[in-house]
């Protein structure tokens, strides 16, 4: 049976409890031995079959007791309160790795590592990023917030620019590394750190994986 056609284009803001750079990006073990993350996506243009997803945000809070690939993780899915019933269903299908080629997207890969999935939270979520400035935020009203800013040289205080390309990555083709501060207020997954890893990237993904720009 053919998969439902879907495509998301927009912004990806990712924060985690690893040190700047996040060794998980390069198939190494997480800095503190476990992984906790808050991730947000802003869809500028998107669809799932005939259902438009334009202008919506979604994301989640995540926790694994060890490295992600070792499993036993938990997730709290978060979907924009403005989404209609059809849009909610579409986003949750994407987030749970459905209608996707095996291993092709971060959603599909992560879905295989969860031991506990909390009931989805349908609430106000705001996600935005400036890739050039390496700044961004995820705000879930009354629940959690993540702020992203440039990494800074500890001696001079100057902003440090790190651009990373992953030609075979399942989350992005290229991203800007940054620094994050995250805290939760009323959430089943507790997150709290300052000055740890973040990255901001373009979101351009289908059920076949990350869309990669062809060289001119």
pLDDT tens column, 20-43: 999 999 989 999 999 999 999 999
Each residue of 95-140: pLDDT tens digit? 999 999 999 999 999 999 999 999 999 999 999 999 999 999 999 9
Asked if residue 24 lies in contact with residue 67, where contact means CB atoms within 8 angstroms, the answer is yes
Assess whether pLDDT exceeds 80 at residue 215.
no
Q: Please tell me the predicted confidence (pLDDT) of residue 192.
A: 97
Q: Please tell me the predicted confidence (pLDDT) of residue 2.
A: 83
- Please count the other Cβ atoms lying within 10 Å of the Cβ belonging to residue 75: 24
Domain boundaries, the chain: 6-208
Query: Three-class SS of residue 85?
Result: helix
Q: Please tell me the predicted confidence (pLDDT) of residue 63.
A: 98
Handedness of CA 73, 35, 121, 186 (dihedral sign): positive
> Any idea what the Cα angle at residue 27 is, between residues 132 and 12, rounded to 5°?
30
* Beta-strand pair 73-80/159-160: unpaired
Asked if residue 74 lies in contact with residue 63, where contact means CB atoms within 8 angstroms, the answer is yes
Asked if residue 184 lies in contact with residue 192, where contact means CB atoms within 8 angstroms, the answer is yes
Each residue of 41-63: pLDDT tens digit? 999 999 999 999 999 999 999 99
Assess whether pLDDT exceeds 50 at residue 216.
no
Assess whether pLDDT exceeds 60 at residue 209.
yes
Question: Mean of the per-residue pLDDT values for the chain?
Answer: 96
Which of 196, 212, 216 lies closest to 204, judged by CA?
212
Locate 107 and state its tokens: 């959603």
Query: Three-class SS of residue 93?
Result: helix
Which of 40, 32, 27 lies closest to 69, judged by CA?
27
> How far apart (Å, rounded) are the C-alpha atoms in residues 46 and 163?
26
Each residue of 153-208: pLDDT tens digit? 999 999 999 999 999 999 999 999 999 999 999 899 999 999 999 999 999 999 99
Which of 107, 87, 111, 71 lies closest to 208, judged by CA?
107
Band of pLDDT at residue 75, cut at 50, 70 and 90: very high
Assess whether pLDDT exceeds 60 at residue 79.
yes
Q: Please tell me the predicted confidence (pLDDT) of residue 213.
A: 79
């Amino acid at each position: 049976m053919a998969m439902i056609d879907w495509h998301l284009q927009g912004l990806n803001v990712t924060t985690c409890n690893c040190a700047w750079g996040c060794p998980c990006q390069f198939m190494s073990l997480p800095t503190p031995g476990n992984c906790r993350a808050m991730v947000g996506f802003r869809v500028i243009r998107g669809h799932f079959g005939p259902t438009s997803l334009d202008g919506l945000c979604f994301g989640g809070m995540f926790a694994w007791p060890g490295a992600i690939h070792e499993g036993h993780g938990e997730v709290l899915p978060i979907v924009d309160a403005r989404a209609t019933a059809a849009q909610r269903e579409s986003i949750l299908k994407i987030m749970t790795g459905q209608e996707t080629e095996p291993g092709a997207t971060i959603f599909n890969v992560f879905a295989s590592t969860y031991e506990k999935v909390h009931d989805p939270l349908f609430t106000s979520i705001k996600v935005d990023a400036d890739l050039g400035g390496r700044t961004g935020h995820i705000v879930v009203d009354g629940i959690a917030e993540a702020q992203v800013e440039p990494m800074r040289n500890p001696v001079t205080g100057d902003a440090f620019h790190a651009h990373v390309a992953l030609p075979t990555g399942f989350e992005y083709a290229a991203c800007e590394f940054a620094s994050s501060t995250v805290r939760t207020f009323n959430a089943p997954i507790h997150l709290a750190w300052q000055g740890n890893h973040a990255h901001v990237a373009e979101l351009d993904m289908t059920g076949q994986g990350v869309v990669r720009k062809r060289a001119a």
